[in-house]
């Protein structure tokens, strides 16, 4: 009977050890899955942004009017013959 009892205790200890170890592993697996899902969403967003930027680059290579638009709006450049009007700042 004592061998049987010892065998039962060993089985219970192994089961408890597996339950403790298994639950912590399960938590880690769930955390890693959540991280992976977030990274996959980031990859999708970055691919979309890359496609948009590639389209903009292509337009800048082929559309001189777009280049002029950016030069005027973002860089403040003017074409020869344009009249430039300067107004006092509103802060005064």
Please, what is the Cα angle at 74 between 72 and 75, to 5 degrees?
Answer: 70
Show me where the domains of the chain are located: 2-73
Predicted local distance difference test score (pLDDT) of residue 15:
79
Residue 66 has pLDDT above 90, yes or no: yes
Predicted local distance difference test score (pLDDT) of residue 91:
66
Predicted local distance difference test score (pLDDT) of residue 40:
97
User: Would you say 11 and 19 are in contact if contact means Cβ atoms under 8 Å apart?
Assistant: no
- Per-residue confidence at 90, pLDDT binned at 50, 70, 90? confident
């Amino acid at each position: 009977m004592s061998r049987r009892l010892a065998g039962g205790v060993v089985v219970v200890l192994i089961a408890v050890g597996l339950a403790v170890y298994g639950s912590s592993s399960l938590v880690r697996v769930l955390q890693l899955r959540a991280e992976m899902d977030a990274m996959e969403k980031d990859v999708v967003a970055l691919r979309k942004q890359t496609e948009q930027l590639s389209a903009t680059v292509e337009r800048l290579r082929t559309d001189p009017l777009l280049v002029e638009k950016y030069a005027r709006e973002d860089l403040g450049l003017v074409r020869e013959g344009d009249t430039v009007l300067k107004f006092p700042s509103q802060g005064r």
